[in-house]
Amino acid sequence: MTPIADWRRVHLREELRSAFEDTLDDRISRWIDINHQPIVGAHHFAAASTECLELYRDGFFVSAVMTSQAVAEGIRRFVLDRNSIAQVGDGTAQIQTLLHHHVLSPACAEAFDRIRGSFRNDVHHMNPKVAQIPFRELAKQNAEDLCLIEREVFEHRVDDGKLFPVQPRYWDLNADGTVNVFLRLQ
């Protein structure tokens, strides 16, 4: 490496360290405020959901909104599938069907609706309206709603070091009685 490249690397390291230190307390506060589920089922959306929450924690609010919308859609389809309910109609109709069949609580259905109504088309298509969207506040609401949804779907208790799902249909149970989980930083 050249001396200039070495200098740039050292300088960049210091800039990044300083930026991280300057935002650390805000990041910690955001992480604690959303009250996330530390253990969820190890499904196809688990990594994206965790990344969504990390995006919000780290202050990437536009990306957090986009990701929350995609993850909520994935969880909605997953819940429909695990309850053998056909995916008929748009997302709002599907949420109402889940509510009607008592698959979701009213609070969970409202959380799905709020995420669905969070300027999805404007954000995903980067319509001019995005310039007026309060992304910080919207990202917080969507992150909190996503956490509420996951707490309901992946509710569990831990007894003597063992995980017991409240709704086993949302967890992939192994033959030996264990489940595959996705762990998150507390």
Convert the pLDDT of each residue in 61-116 to its tens digit: 999 999 999 999 999 999 999 999 999 999 999 999 999 999 999 999 999 999 99
Q: Looking at the domain assignment, is residue 145 inside a domain?
A: yes
- pLDDT at res. 3: 83
pLDDT-derived band at 5, boundaries 50, 70, 90? confident
Domain of residue 120, CATH code:
1.20.120
Q: Looking at the domain assignment, is residue 15 inside a domain?
A: no
Compute CA distances 4 → 15, 18, 34, 63, 131, whole Å: 16, 21, 43, 34, 39
pLDDT-derived band at 117, boundaries 50, 70, 90? very high
Q: Are 124 and 118 contacting, i.e. CB atoms less than 8 angstroms apart?
A: no
Q: What is the pLDDT of residues 159-176, one digit of tens each?
A: 998 899 999 999 998 998
Q: Looking at the domain assignment, is residue 50 inside a domain?
A: yes
Q: What is the mean pLDDT of residues 3-20?
A: 91
Amino acid identity at 150: E
Distance CA 158, CA 88 (A): 36
pLDDT at 51 over 90: yes
Q: Looking at the domain assignment, is residue 131 inside a domain?
A: yes
Token pair of 180 as six digits: 């595959």
Handedness of CA 55, 61, 63, 64 (dihedral sign): positive
Q: Looking at the domain assignment, is residue 17 inside a domain?
A: no
Q: What is the mean pLDDT of residues 17-27?
A: 96
Q: Looking at the domain assignment, is residue 90 inside a domain?
A: yes
Q: Looking at the domain assignment, is residue 159 inside a domain?
A: yes
Neighbours of 44 (CB within 10 A): 8
Q: Looking at the domain assignment, is residue 86 inside a domain?
A: yes
Q: Are 79 and 171 contacting, i.e. CB atoms less than 8 angstroms apart?
A: no
What percentage of the chain carries pLDDT values higher than 90?
Answer: 86
Structural domain including 48 reads 34-183
Count of domains forming the chain:
1
